[in-house]
Homo-oligomer: A and B are copies of this chain.
């Protein structure tokens, strides 16, 4: 039984102790059991939850939206149509974000590829690419984005 302190939790997830308490106040993390002294006691699930929150933030979800996302996961009534609908909406959100990111990525890689030699950037096709993003077709090829590049 791995009961960890707030400091250990914070460290494990790469955030500050104050931030953990802040998330608790905001309802993103629920109040953990306490020791007799009043010290919070977390388990490893809390670490995962906290990491999830950070990742979701990175890609532009607000704390409110992240609460929704977590609620979807935690809701024991998740089978209901209402919840599925919200999940579907989040998927659509995510798709839009992915599409925007891939369009930006395509522009940047074009810049990288085309301007590898010399000459001014203004000659790059990227200018046009940026101007009109491929917002309507994720381009399939975009899947090239996969790991193995960083």
Contacts and interface: CB of A to CB of B under 8 A. Distances in A.
Interface stretch (A4-12, A20-28, A35-43, A129-137): A129-137
Interface residues of A, number: 67
A98 B105 contact: yes
B112 A102 contact: no
A98 B98 contact: yes
A85 B69 CA distance: 35
B136 A147 contact: yes
A121 interface: yes
Contacts of A118: 79
Nearest to A129: B73
Contacts of A60: 57-60
Nearest to A136: B147
Interface string A69-89: 100110111110001100110
A4 B143 CA distance: 38
Given A105-B91, A115-B78, A97 B58 contact: yes
Top 4 A-B pairs ranked by shortest CB distance? A78-B121, A60-B60, A143-B143, A138-B146
9 contacts: A55-B104, A73-B107, A73-B121, A73-B130, A78-B122, A79-B115, A95-B147, A98-B102, A143-B143
